């Protein structure tokens, strides 16, 4: 079997701690469990990458607003935000791990995530 390696797929996950990154890609989808819409952001630098999902819910909106503001994109009530505007933006993030209980099988899962976004 031949497996093609696309650009960026040869990178490892970013190490924990503060990282300066560029947003290189946005994917859209909905959560497997409740069908909540989300967009996944790929944060990348020369050392690696991390992807983080932003859920379009009342609980997720503060993180979405913060992401756009730290990317230098103004947020105004009544105006739509376009995730395409995020691609190419640079910022600093903090990479760390978070554990949670999987609602399907009740097993504990740990994932790496990006938090504490700051403008570069």
Distance (Å, whole) CA 1 – CA 115: 38
Pull the structure tokens for residue 82: 């376009």
User: Does the residue 102 lie in any domain?
Assistant: yes
User: Does the residue 31 lie in any domain?
Assistant: yes
The pLDDT value recorded for residue 101 is 79
C-alpha distances in Å from residue 53, one per residue of 1, 31, 32, 38:
32, 10, 12, 6
How confident is the prediction along the chain (120 residues), in pLDDT tens digits per residue?
A: 877 666 656 788 899 999 999 999 999 999 887 899 999 999 999 999 999 999 999 999 999 999 999 999 999 999 999 999 999 999 999 998 877 777 778 888 877 878 888 887
Distance (Å, whole) CA 87 – CA 56: 18
Q: Please give the helix or strand (H or E) that residue 91 lies within, else none.
A: strand 90-101
Which domain CATH number covers 51? 2.40.50
User: Does the residue 109 lie in any domain?
Assistant: yes
Distance (Å, whole) CA 31 – CA 104: 12
């Amino acid at each position: 079997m031949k497996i093609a390696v696309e650009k960026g797929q040869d990178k490892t996950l970013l190490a924990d701690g503060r990282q300066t990154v560029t947003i290189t890609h946005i994917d859209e989808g909905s959560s497997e469990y409740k069908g909540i819409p989300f967009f996944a952001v790929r944060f990348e630098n020369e050392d690696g990458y991390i992807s983080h999902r932003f859920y379009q819910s009342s609980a997720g909106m503060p993180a979405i607003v913060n992401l756009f503001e730290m990317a230098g994109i103004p947020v105004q009530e009544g105006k739509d935000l376009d995730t395409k505007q995020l691609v190419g933006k640079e910022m600093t993030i903090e990479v760390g791990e978070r554990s949670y209980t999987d609602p399907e099988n009740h097993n504990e899962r740990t994932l790496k995530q990006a938090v504490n976004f700051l403008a570069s």
